[in-house]
Amino acid sequence: MTTITTPTTSRSTSTTATRVLGTVALVLMAWVVVSGLFLTPADVVQLESVRIMYVHVPSAWIAYLAFVTTAVASAISLFRRHRSLGFDRVAGASAEVGVLFMAITLVTGSLWGRLTWGTFWQWDPRLTTTAFLFVTYVGYLAIRRLDGTPRQRARRSAILALLAVLEIPLVHFSVVLWRSLHQEASVLNTDGDVRLDGLMLFTLFSGVIAFSAAFAWFVVHRQRVAAMEDLRLTSGLDVALAERRAEAIPS
Amino acid sequence: MIRRTATAVFRKDLLIEWRSRALLTRVVPFAVLVLVLFAIALDSEPLVLRAGAGLVWMTTLFSALVIVQRSFELERRDGALDVLKTLGVDGTALFLGKAAALIVQLLTLVVILVAGAVVLYGVNVEPSALVLLVTTALLGSCGIGLVGTLYGGLVSGTSGRDTLLPLLLMPVTAPVLIGASRATESAFGGDAIDATTAWAWVGLLAVFVAAFAVAGAVSFGPLLDSDS
Amino acid sequence: MKDVGFIALSYVLTLGSMALFAVVTVRRARSLSRTIPDRDKPWL
């Protein structure tokens, strides 16, 4: 009977690369917090609420980056024979991280909107499309959890991801056309008319770098966890097969 | 070959539907009931009149969920889909056939719901708006039918399909909902939307239909293969 | 002052949720790593 050996010391998902990434992310993040909250000046128009931008804008960028990563990894997973499951795991990990950052984007955006416009939500194209993108992601994650082999999961979710690449521009364009009928809404600029210069711009830029490093760190670790989960799945099957074969041997 | 297979699948689906009359005896009453409930919940005749177009398409969307689920449930039962796959039925043909059958059912539903809006909400359709209305109904049904078949196939046979399909379909059908509602609103004599804008929406629907017709035809085969 | 509250909340939620994700992932990674021999881990 075979058992999975439990080594006395085993290494987890960290490697030198991830430690570097993690350190960079943490240091930059600390700088962004200090600078964003205390060092940068308040904006002329938005006053203090501009400080939310330093976490909101990078989150939004990374959420979109994650979506693109999922789409590209899904395409590669579908069209390549070799290592297709590895790319599928990257797609899945990126989507989870994307949902996280998209949620952060929507929540911080809401809070910012409440302070700046007085409302938590605006039916403008960018916000509405972001909300749809969020729901699409959630659906993608749900389909990954359906029972099936890793290969089935990979195929199904890759197709869904590529359909999402088709769907999101269509949704965006529909909403743009839709909201153009309601001229009053465009008075409130979702960018907030901020002229960023000097320290503000640098802090925002640092934020994007920090969040990107964090994104990479998250995806690498999450993807490695997924690899181990898949290994467990297949090795569990191997163990079961070995046990069944052992039963067939007359003792 | 594809056309013959697609036609065969199309006729099979409609024949099953005709024999069971599920659409006519269950889905249509449900849909009309939803129209009535909307009127009751909104409790304002001018509001309901204004909202009529949107309500027609929202109701169509909800009913589509039911029809799609049923369409794939039929395939799953008795392993019908497996038989089709074993026979080597082309994925594209299967997709087009099932989508066409679904579109016919949805179109029937839309016609009945528009009649319902005329009767219940006091909507007035000018003869001049008839072309717009028919085109919108056609394209809207095609849009929902195509993505319904595609996503229905994606979740068919899986354990989460009942709750997952609505979640997946709602974002995708948003352009159809927006476009068809605005165009229909114009056809119903809404002042907010002029003819040019209405036909722009029809254009958007056409793009949507073309995009998902191709996407579905291309991906339905690989989609079914993944279940092996 | 609503401003300060909302700003602080934004930062807390952002950093907090990221930290939570990190902690959950690392813990899962560690517990899974113990059950799989190092030679089977492709990144090592």
**Domain residues of chain B, as ranges?**
2-225
Interface test with A, best of B147, B151, B156, B168 (most A CBs within 10 A): B168
Taking only the tens place, the pLDDT of each residue in A110-120 is: 999 999 888 89
Of A5, A114, A228, the CB nearest to C32: A228
> Which of C15, C18, C38 minimises the CB distance to A10?
C38
Alpha-carbon gap: B176 to the closest alpha carbon of chain A (Å): 9
Q: Return the ∠ at Cα B143 (arms to B38 and B206), rounded to 5°.
A: 120
The whole-number pLDDT of residue A26 equals: 95
Contact between B202 and B183 (Cβ < 8 Å): yes
Please report the pLDDT score of residue A56 as a whole number: 94
Instruction: Determine B/A contact with 3+ CB pairs under 8 A as the test.
Output: yes
Residue A188 banded pLDDT, cuts 50, 70, 90: very low
DSSP per-residue string spanning chain B: -HHHHHHHHHHHHHHHHHHHTHIIIIIHHHHHHHHHHHHHHH--HHHHHHHHHHHHHHHHHHHHHHHHHHHHHHHHGGGHHHHHHHTT--HHHHHHHHHHHHHHHHHHHHHHHHHHIIIII-----GGGHHHHHHHHHHHHHHHHHHHHHHHHHHTTSTTHHHHHHHHHHHHHHHHHHHHHHHHHHHTT-TTS-HHHHHHHHHHHHHHHHHHHHHHHHHHHHHHHTT-
Please judge whether B164 and A142 are an interchain contact, meaning their C-beta atoms are less than 8 angstroms apart: yes
Q: Inform me whether the pLDDT recorded for A191 exceeds 60.
A: no
User: In this structure, what is the dihedral angle of CA atoms A102, A104, A105, A107, given to the nearest 10 degrees?
Assistant: 120
Could you count the other beta carbons within 10 Å of the beta carbon of residue A183? 8
pLDDT grade, residue A187 (50/70/90)? very low
C-alpha distance from C12 to closest chain A C-alpha (Å): 10
Which chain B residues are closer than 8 Å to A163 by Cβ? 150, 172, 215, 219
Reference B205, options B173, B169, B179; nearest CA is: B179
Q: In 10 A of CB A126, how many CB atoms?
A: 16
Q: Is the pLDDT of residue A9 over 80?
A: no
Per the CB < 8 A criterion, the answer to whether B101 and B184 are in contact is no
To the nearest whole Å, the CA of A55 is away from the closest chain C CA by 7
What Å distances lie between residue B43 and B40, B123, B124, CA to CA? 5, 16, 20
Task: Chain B: list its partners (3+ Cβ pairs within 8 Å).
Answer: A
What six digits make up the tokens of A21? Answer: 């990434």
Q: Decide: B15 and B97 in contact? Cβ < 8 Å.
A: no
Q: Do B154 and A178 touch (CB under 8 A)?
A: no
Question: What residues in A contact C15, CB-CB < 8 Å?
Answer: 29, 33, 55
Q: Left, alpha or beta for A201 (phi > 0: left; psi -120 to 50: alpha)?
A: alpha
Q: Are A116 and A49 contacting, i.e. CB atoms less than 8 angstroms apart?
A: yes
Count of A–B CB contacts within 8 Å?
A: 84
Angle between helices A53-79 and A84-116 (to 10 degrees): 160
- Say how many Å lie between the first and final Cα of chain B, rounded: 24
Q: Do chains C and A touch (3 or more CB pairs under 8 A)?
A: yes
> Is pLDDT larger for residue B13 or for residue A8?
B13
CA angle A145, B167, B67 (to 5 degrees): 110
Q: Looking at the predicted structure, is the pLDDT value of residue A174 above 70?
A: yes
Give the pLDDT confidence score for residue A186 in this predicted structure: 43
CA distances from A5 to A227, A229, A244, B92 (A): 18, 16, 19, 48
Q: What values do phi and psi take at B10, rounded to 5? A: -60, -50
Chains near A with 3+ CB pairs less than 8 A apart are B, C
Q: Can you give the pTM of this predicted structure?
A: 0.88
CA distance A175 to B182: 12
ipTM over cut 0.90:
yes
CA A14, A20, A21, A24 torsion-angle sign: positive
Mean pLDDT by 10 residues, chain B (228 residues): 88 89 87 93 88 94 91 81 79 93 95 94 88 96 96 85 90 95 90 85 96 94 72
- The CA-atom distances, in angstroms, between B201 and each of A181, B125, B204, C36 are 12, 18, 5, 56
CA distance B205 to chain A (A): 9
* Spatial CB neighbours of C13, under 8 Å, sequence gap ≥ 6: A104, A107, A108
Q: Which residues of B touch A178 (CB under 8 A)?
A: 178, 182
User: How far is residue A133's CA from residue A136's CA, in Å, rounded to a whole number?
Assistant: 5
* Minimal C-alpha gap between B2 and chain A (Å): 22
Q: What is the DSSP letter of A38?
A: I
Higher pLDDT, B164 or A148: B164
B158 φ, ψ (degrees, to nearest 5): -90, 160
The residue among A25 and A232 whose pLDDT is bigger is A25
C27, pLDDT greater than 90 = yes
Residue in chain B lying closest to A133 (CA): B171
Q: How far are the Cα atoms of B62, B108, B223 from residue B66, in angstroms, in the given order?
A: 7, 15, 21
Give chain C's contact residues with A (Cβ, < 8 Å). Answer: 2-4, 6-7, 9-11, 13-15, 17-18, 21-22, 25-26, 28-30, 32-38, 40-44
8 Å CB contact of B155 and A146: yes
In chain A, which residues have their Cβ closer than 8 Å to the Cβ of C35? 4, 6, 232
